[in-house]
Structure 1
Amino acid sequence: MNFYNQIGKMALGSRLRALSNNITNDAADIYKLYDIEMQPRWFPVFYVLSKTDESSITAIAKEIGQTHPSVSQVVREMVKHGFAIEKKSKEDQRKNYVALSAKGKDAAVKIQAQYQDVEAAIDGAFKESQYDLWKAIEEWEYLLEQKSLFKRVQDERKKRESGNVTIIDYSPEYQSAFRELNVEWISQYFSMEESDYKALDHPNEYIIDKGGYIFIALYEGDALGTCALIKMDDHKYELAKMAVSPKAQGKNIGTLLGQAAIAKCKALGADTIYLESNTILKPAINLYRKLGFEKITGTPSPYARCNIQMELKIV
């Protein structure tokens, strides 16, 4: 246990496996104690079959929350050891079903005394413990069902790495980065258009001098993201030319750029932010929705690649 105390919560999975292995080893000895020739890993499948005449592997897998291949493997082992049989369904002869064999049914009767003693033993252990392990497991299962551990780690990584992101105002030294970042993503999915070249080659003339703004996202000093606010009128700006380098994906840069643009519009007294995009850009559309943008039907876009228009009303 000293190892787990040293390494801490990072070893949660390893510690749970060690606990599971201890319980599984005891379970094997318990089956022998009651003279039942069964492997601990068979138990969920065995239990389901003991409560029904027959069942399909798909139904068993769904009921016990395991994969079809893992249940199929257990069934093969049970059949091999004479605990189960495979047979045609009474309702549909084209389907194979699983049922307990005579040996399995005898075990289902014999195991009742074991059930009683095991449940009493576990209840006794629960009473000796300070925390209710069963309720804690239920709570963790619910929490991880709502948001997996992978997603939680992914979010923490974004939070940490976003601390190394700085959003700054555009200056001429970032003109090449502004252009290259946008050309990279546009060329990957679409074709560059005349309006793209005008804005990217002459950002001062087509964006800034007309009352717009450009933001640059620096990650550890490198320009890896950008977006622009194009002035439409005194109360409305277009969020455009948002691009994040593929090597910076997952660092929350898009969100930080969007938040910077929204904050700027609020400071300017604008009440609406408009944008154009394409629905094949699912991560971008999801980002816009998270920022509060909603789909609208606006005037026809000058860009051929545009098939969705969105708008954010600033409160």
Structure 2
Amino acid sequence: MTQALQDLGILALGTRFRVLSESMMATVKAFYDEHKLDFEPRWFPLFRTVHKQPGIGMMALSQQLGVSHAAVNAFCKQLIAAGLIKLTPDTKDGRIKQVTLTPAGQVLHTRLEPAWFVLRQALETAFPGHEAQQILNLVARLEEAVDDKAVPRGLKTVLKRERILDGLDIVPFNAADHDHQRYFEALNTEWLEQYFIVEPVDRQMFADPHGLIIAPGGAIYMAAVHGQIVGTCALVKRTDDVYELAKMAVSAVFQGKGIGTALVRVVEDHARSLGLTKLYLVSSVKLPHAVPTYRKLGYVDSAAGLHELYQRSDISLEKVLT
């Protein structure tokens, strides 16, 4: 296994299983070929089950092997083409196809049994004592978790609004923090590319957020949930009296959890600390949730005309800070 995959940890678990499976399949296939056994390793579970349960139905195979009916059908077609199995209608219900080994399949199964014995011995040698059983137990536990929808349930738990807000920290932008610089650009680029294009004025700010936003008198805040940066918002000075709430972005995974509202509140408090009595922002009616959300936060139509700063913007809003 490569160091890169190991470094990715549990998030690469599926990939590691796939790579491991492909490697083991290739090893077993080479062993079969060396001993003139015309058989594909991926056929083993179905082929062996049909031998143990002659006449088993395809639906039962799907259930017992834990694969889709389409997958069973595909494997059956391959084994039929190889002359190893046959399908016959059930005597009571012709719609049900019973699967049995052909005479050639029976002969090959007999020839394969010594090979499977050797493979089992090789694996038990590689994993002596209780190691093999421990591996099987861990695989069984993982299968149970997948069948039990443990991961989807875990996602719902992690993304609960209350849990997110409990772990939410909003901190000032740190120019020395590479993650702040990286996420300020990435989070904004995500929504800009989804609905519009990244304009030159955006790229300039992404390239030098400290020089173009903070140094002239503005501010940038970063939102993190349990240490993971998920949102950002800026206060941009346009003139001595006009400050814009801008560069609001929240990761798509964390939207609708109150993070954007929390960022707006922090930026508004920063504006008040500067003695500002009004805050402006620009948006677009093309954004399905943005304008209604800002209106709920107290922003109303403005004649300031700030929307002319961006090609994508077609509406200016303002809010009196009390």
TM-score, length basis structure 2: 0.48
TM-score, length basis structure 1: 0.49
